[in-house]
């Protein structure tokens, strides 16, 4: 750890407290504005969001790295929020125009920083689990509210009525931002088998609902056919999801909460948002049909502000944010900061990449793993692995690999475009056709000395370049080591790419009927709580890809041989499967005593 690291950690730890302080002081300032009767109802709601709701939401969404530091986006949003909120509130006192827009612009910039923090969370973690994705969505949606405020204060309404621009500001600070964040907080609790499915199916609708409704409002303003009907259907589905989620919270989550004030606040907020969204359904139906229902018609914007807007703000958002702040639930997802190598390549990798870079070492290594037993855990019994499979992992460089691909449509068509590029670069050239016999891959294992503690100490290089030509050429340059986190060992593999690298954190477990096979998997455990995954590392930042792979290695038909099945999926949908036949390159190599 460098000398400045403790200072960075100390400064970073102040940010959540800074957000809390801002919310408290903002609340006091907002009450003074209300008592002084400075604004009307809509402006009061917008001011409340800027002064109180956003800092509370940032506090709830706080996501420190493993070393205690925080994202630069988070730092900008938290530190910038108080002053930019004051400027945004000040803009509400002014007549729309250029000067007013300049006062609102800093708040729009702060919402961009909040959205940047949401993107940062999403990229380093991936779109799992759903409750964290819901929080990300809330952080992202708020930028729409910030931009809408800027347009409103400029006096530019585009194709909308001016009032709708103002209400868009409200919508994306509350239903668009606060609601998904609060749904994510509730989703961190498990409401039990009875209500888990309800939470699992309604949360995605809460995530996409604000965006769909906003699109519907735009379609109505542009006078698209059936736009009002579609908008009503979207509002109805969204309201149903919110209602069912609220039921799950009241019945399944509230009993799990540690204090009665928190249960009271969140229970009341759940009821309030259900009633509030009911008004939205009635208003949407009135807009779709042109009728008046329960005193709400197509032109009842004032009524909607009174019942829907104020109930959303004062009955739902504030109590819910304060309620969750009393005891912030911990995330199941792994903390940011997965340790990865910073090693990158150029536009030519190839089997001699490490030699060209001067990265080879003098140590004696023979396999991608020194000792399979080093990965022993409560989910992996190394003693059950067959000796032939163990030998493959510990003597990988002595094997030839015959491979047969099976691509899913349309991925094969895309691979036809990708393969020439990968072949030219000399890295990860996944085959389109079988490579057997003379075209089989041969391997070698060399020691690596990069100077980066996160770069592996050995590389397994597989290639058939010396025997194949054109599209038949394949090269894989992977650097391996063992990564240990929270007591669990992962096989970490780094593939250098142009300006980046692809890093796999692979869980090790048993497979096969008798646990004699060895399985490497990038699929994380439930809740995305471990380090397993495939990461694209650019500039030292690891982006969790929606790709996953599983490699099953088991004893082959012949004595000492092994077979492997490598399956790659995108968002859970199979992309391709590779079937490997792995044999010792020298048939005279001593394999006596090696059983299946």
Distance CA 473, CA 459 (A): 19
User: 336 in a domain, yes or no?
Assistant: no
On whether the CB atoms of residues 235 and 281 are closer than 8 A, the answer is: yes
* Residue 275 and residue 225 in one domain: yes
Token pair for 131 = 């409750």
Cα–Cα distance list, 591 to 251, 388, 398, 559, 596 (Å): 63, 9, 12, 8, 11
Residue at a domain's end among 326, 342, 376 = 326
Helix locations, 395-511, DSSP H: 411-425
| Helix, strand, coil % in the chain, rounded to nearest 5 | 50, 20, 30
- CA-wise closest residue to 524 among 180, 127, 145, 221: 127
Q: Is residue 197 part of a domain?
A: yes
Q: Is 561 within a domain? A: yes
Specify burial of residue 437 (Cβ count, 10 A radius: 0-12, 13-18, 19+). exposed
> In terms of Cα–Cα distance, which of 231, 139, 212 is closest to 180?
139
Examine the domain organization and report whether 365 and 265 are in the same domain: no
Residues 512 and 422 in one domain: yes
Q: Are residue 359 and residue 213 in the same domain, yes or no?
A: no
Q: How far is CA 430 from CA 348, 404, 418, 433, 473, in A?
A: 16, 10, 9, 9, 10
Q: Are 160 and 147 in contact (CB under 8 A)?
A: no
* Domain containing residue 116: CATH number: 1.20.210.10
Total structural domains within the chain: 2
What's the angle, vertex CA 510, arms to CA 486 and CA 480, rounded to 5?
60
pLDDT band at 588 (very low <50, low <70, confident <90, very high): very low
- Residues 84, 166, single domain; the answer is yes
HSE-up (13 A, CA, CB side) for residue 160: 20
pLDDT value at residue 4: 66
Burial class (CB in 10 A: 0-12, 13-18, 19+), 37: exposed
If asked whether residues 281 and 370 sit together in one domain, one would say no
Mean pLDDT of the region 105-118: 99
Is the pLDDT score of 116 beyond 50? yes
Residue 589: pLDDT over 50: no
Cβ–Cβ under 8 Å, residues 437 and 312 = no
Q: How many CB atoms lie within 10 A of CB 258?
A: 9
Count of Cβ atoms closer than 10 Å to residue 351 Cβ: 21
Which pLDDT belongs to residue 591?
40
Percent of the chain with pLDDT over 70: 97
What one-character DSSP code corresponds to residue 581?
A: E
Q: Does 302 have pLDDT greater than 90?
A: no
Tokens representing 285 are 């139906």
The domain of 533 spans 353-584
Residue range 501-515, pLDDT digits in tens: 999 999 999 999 899
155 belongs to a structural domain: yes
Do 292 and 390 lie in one domain? The reply is no
Query: Rounded to 10 degrees, what is the CA torsion of 489, 491, 345, 417?
Result: -130
**412 lies in some domain:** yes
Whether residue 133 sits in one domain with residue 269: yes
Same domain, 218 and 304: yes
Instruction: For 325-376, write each residue's pLDDT tens digit.
Output: 999 999 999 999 999 999 999 999 999 999 999 999 999 999 999 999 999 9
* Spatial separation of the C-alpha atoms in residues 403 and 565, rounded to whole Å: 10
Query: How high is the mean pLDDT of the chain?
Result: 92
Higher pLDDT, 74 or 560: 74
Average pLDDT (424-432) is 95
pTM over 0.95? The answer is no
Strands 500-511 and 533-538: antiparallel
The percentage of the chain sitting over the pLDDT mark of 90, rounded to a whole number, equals 76
pLDDT tens readout for residues 479-537:
999 999 988 999 999 999 999 999 999 999 999 989 999 999 999 988 788 999 999 99
The secondary structure of residue 111, as a DSSP letter, is H
The residue among 280, 309, 326 that closes a domain is 326
pLDDT recorded at residue 32: 98
Q: What is the pLDDT of residue 206?
A: 96
Q: Is residue 142 part of a domain?
A: yes
Q: Are residues 281 and 391 in the same domain?
A: no
Q: Which pLDDT band holds residue 194 (cuts at 50, 70, 90)? A: confident
Does 273 reside within a domain? yes
Domain co-membership, 318 together with 361: no
CA angle 187, 203, 228 (to 5 degrees): 150
| 388 vs 383: CA distance, rounded Å | 12
Task: Give yes or no: residues 371 and 315 share one domain.
Answer: no
The torsion angles phi and psi of 487, rounded to 5 degrees, stand at: 80, 0
Domain presence at residue 407:
yes
């Amino acid at each position: 750890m460098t000398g400045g690291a403790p200072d960075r950690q100390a400064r970073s730890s102040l940010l959540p407290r800074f957000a809390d302080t801002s919310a408290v002081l903002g609340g006091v300032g907002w009450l003074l504005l209300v008592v002084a009767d400075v604004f009307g109802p809509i402006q009061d709601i917008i001011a409340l969001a800027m002064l109180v709701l956003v800092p509370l939401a940032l506090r709830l969404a706080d996501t420190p790295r493993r070393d205690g530091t925080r994202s630069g986006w988070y730092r900008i949003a938290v530190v910038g929020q108080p002053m930019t909120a004051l400027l945004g509130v000040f803009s509400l006192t002014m007549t729309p125009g250029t000067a007013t827009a300049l006062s609102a612009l800093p708040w729009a910039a702060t919402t961009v920083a909040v959205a940047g923090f949401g993107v940062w969370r999403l990229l380093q973690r991936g779109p799992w689990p759903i409750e964290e994705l819901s929080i990300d969505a809330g952080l992202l949606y708020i930028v729409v509210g910030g931009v809408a405020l800027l347009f409103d204060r400029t006096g530019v309404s585009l194709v909308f009525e001016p009032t709708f621009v103002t209400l868009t500001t409200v919508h994306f600070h509350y239903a668009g931002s606060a609601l998904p964040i609060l749904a994510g907080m509730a989703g961190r609790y498990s409401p039990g088998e009875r209500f888990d499915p309800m939470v699992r199916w309604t949360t995605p609708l809460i995530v996409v609902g604000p965006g769909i409704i906003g699109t519907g409002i735009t379609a109505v303003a542009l006078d698209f056919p059936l736009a009002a009907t579609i908008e009503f259907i979207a509002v109805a589905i969204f309201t149903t999801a919110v209602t069912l989620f609220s039921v799950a919270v009241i019945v399944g989550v509230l009993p799990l909460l540690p204090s009665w004030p928190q249960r009271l606040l969140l229970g009341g907020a759940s009821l309030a948002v259900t009633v509030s969204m009911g008004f939205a359904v009635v208003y949407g139906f009135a807009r779709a049909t042109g009728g008046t229902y329960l005193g709400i018609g197509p032109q009842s914007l004032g009524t909607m502000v009174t019942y829907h807007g104020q109930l959303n703000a004062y009955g739902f958002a504030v109590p819910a944010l304060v309620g969750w702040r009393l005891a912030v639930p911990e995330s199941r997802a792994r903390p940011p900061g997965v340790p990865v190598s910073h090693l990158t390549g150029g536009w030519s990798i190839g089997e001699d990449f490490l030699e060209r870079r001067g990265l080879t070492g003098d140590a004696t290594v023979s396999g991608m793993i020194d000792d399979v037993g080093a990965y022993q855990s409560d989910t992996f019994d190394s003693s059950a692995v067959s000796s032939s499979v163990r030998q493959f992992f510990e003597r990988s460089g002595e094997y030839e690999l015959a491979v047969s691909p099976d691509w899913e449509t349309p991925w094969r068509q895309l691979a036809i475009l990708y393969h020439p590029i990968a072949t030219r670069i000399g890295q990860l050239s996944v085959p389109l056709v079988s490579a057997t016999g003379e075209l089989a891959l041969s391997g070698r294992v060399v020691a690596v000395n990069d100077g980066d503690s996160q770069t592996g100490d050995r590389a397994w290089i597989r290639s058939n370049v010396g025997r194949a030509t054109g599209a038949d050429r394949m090269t894989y340059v992977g650097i391996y080591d063992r990564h240990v986190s929270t007591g669990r060992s992962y096989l970490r593999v780094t593939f250098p790419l142009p300006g980046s690298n692809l890093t796999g954190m692979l869980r090790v477990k048993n497979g096969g009927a008798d646990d004699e096979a060895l399985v490497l998997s990038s699929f994380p455990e439930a809740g995305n709580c471990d380090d397993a995954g495939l990461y694209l590392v650019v500039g030292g930042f690891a982006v969790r890809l929606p790709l996953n792979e599983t490699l099953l290695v088991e004893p082959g038909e012949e004595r000492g041989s092994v077979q492997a099945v490598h399956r790659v999926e995108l968002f859970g949908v199979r992309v391709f499967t590779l079937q490997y036949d792995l044999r010792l390159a020298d048939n005279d190599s001593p394999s006596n005593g090696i059983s299946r």
